[in-house]
Amino acid sequence: MQIREQGRKIQCIRTVYDKAIGRGRQVVVATLPRWSTSLMPSEDGLAQLTDAEREQLEAFLAQRRADAEESNSRYTAMSAASWLATLAKSIKEGQQLRPEQADAIWQGMTEVAKSLRKAGYAKPKISRKAKAVPTPQAPQEATAGEGSTPGTAEVTNTRTKPARKPRAPKAATSTDTMEGGQG
């Protein structure tokens, strides 16, 4: 038996020998809705299937069901981070939740954390913003250099300045090109 998806239907096609034309011809024995994942006893035409054909159709539908579950799992894993970010944003913006919804979210986050740990994914370290460290003022006598005036002190800053981005070169003006060209 052949199983073919045609339009919105899954067709079960049997090849039967026709003596009039001297060769086999294909006959649609049963049809199912395209999105079926299991056999329904009330489906028209399934009674015409032999036991071997019914087993073949059940194996086909089981494979489709497994493929759909695997695809759904892959999509869920790929989009989980964006869903969590969207959830956090909506809660920050004041979305009200019922207590049972909040409990379900906390429970789900606990299950996700357990699964990540068991799968071997380490929890990343949270990088916190460094607080601004005030530079301590040293006594004037200890830091005053030989060439400095009395009452002023050189204070050394232990922090390094961030590097500046280089500026874009200025566009050459007509006077610059004339001066550079003559000479």
- Cα Dmax for the chain: 122
Element spanning 163, H or E? none
What average pLDDT does this structure show over 160-169?
69
pLDDT at 172 over 80: no
Element spanning 118, H or E? helix 99-119
What tens digit of pLDDT does each residue of 18-70 get? 888 889 888 888 888 888 877 776 666 677 888 888 889 899 999 999 999 99
Question: Cα separation of 41 and 45, whole Å?
Answer: 10
Contact (CB, 8 A) for 58 and 50: no
pTM as predicted: 0.52
pLDDT at 99 over 70: yes
Question: Cα separation of 76 and 108, whole Å?
Answer: 14
Q: Which is nearest to 14 in space by CA: 58, 62, 61, 46?
A: 46
Beta strands (DSSP E) in the chain are 2-6, 9-18, 23-33
Band of pLDDT at residue 120, cut at 50, 70 and 90: very high
